Amino acid sequence: MTTAHPPTPGTALWVHAHPSRSSLNGRLFREGVRALSADREVVTSDLYAQGFDPVLDPRALSGGSPGAAPGERTGGPAGLADLLGDAHARGRLPADVVGEQAKLARAELLVLQFPLWWYGPPAILKGWFDRVLTAGFAFGDLDPELGVPRRYGDGGLAGRRALVVVTAGEDAGSIGPRGVSGDLESLLFPLTHGVLWYVGVEPLDLHVVHDADALGAAGVEREVERLARRLRTLDAEPGRPYRRLRDGDYRDTRALRADLLPGRTDLGIHRLPAG
């Protein structure tokens, strides 16, 4: 069973995934946390600095069942989500995962900050998702009235918003809607929709720093101030929610109903219409 985790108002968790404190990301992290702390209680997870292990511990995969081998639980083999859900229910998750879950359960705002490496987040952040967003904590139940899974806009982490801060080495054209590298919104759909929205967290518009490798001193200062300015006005920002699974837009097949935006197959069909 998934436990709902109502956030504490005025709190934030900032997850930072870059190995160098002297980098642009390191500067944005420090200055961003300082700016956000002006009107929120902010805790951080500096994944490289704290030596977070992104690899699943095989001992967690027994679900805490005595004598069970990794990949098994009492009664035979089980899927990974079930195994981690068992470990969560039995209080057998590793201490570092429990600590991260406690920070996330309390936070009203989640900030995820990382450089774009090979068109996605660094592996250490992917490992944080793998280990921290377990069944039983972030997702897992059926809606008793509708009979659909409590995910995609629902679930254990509903009621939160997230800001994704990403630095990219390319300019806005090459990583834009018609760019040779693909549209950044689409490249990060697996994160904004497949991770955040899946567990009920509503993502805000991406905060992107383009040409990150070519910024001079003046450019760095400009980006630091732009981020601080954005953070000061977050509470006034409208959300950009995706469609919720429970609202019937994906009835029966979990493909978008044929009568909604017919003929379109782009990822934008999963956003709710503006207004």
Mean pLDDT of 119-138: 95
Predicted pLDDT at 96? 94
The predicted-structure confidence for 87-117, as pLDDT tens digits, reads as follows: 888 888 999 999 999 999 999 999 999 999 9
Percent of the chain with pLDDT over 70: 89
Tally of structural domains, the chain: 1
CATH number at residue 226: 3.40.50.360
User: Is position 166 within any domain?
Assistant: yes
Predicted pLDDT at 137? 92
The predicted-structure confidence for 198-228, as pLDDT tens digits, reads as follows: 999 999 999 999 988 888 899 999 999 999 9
Predicted pLDDT at 172? 84
Predicted pLDDT at 157? 94
Structural domain containing residue 182: 11-57+94-241
Sign of CA dihedral 219, 225, 195, 138: positive
Mean pLDDT of 237-259: 87
Predicted pLDDT at 154? 87
Greater pLDDT, 76 or 179: 179
Mean pLDDT of 72-95: 77
User: Is position 68 within any domain?
Assistant: no
User: Is position 225 within any domain?
Assistant: yes
The predicted-structure confidence for 9-48, as pLDDT tens digits, reads as follows: 999 999 999 999 989 999 999 999 999 999 999 999 999 9
Predicted pLDDT at 121? 96
As given in the structure block, the two tokens for residue 260 are: 């909604």
Question: How far, rounded to the nearest angstrom, does the alpha carbon of residue 31 sit from its chain's CA centroid?
Answer: 21
- Is this model's pTM higher than 0.85 or not? yes
User: Is position 258 within any domain?
Assistant: no
User: Is position 188 within any domain?
Assistant: yes
- pLDDT at residue 72 greater than cutoff 80: no
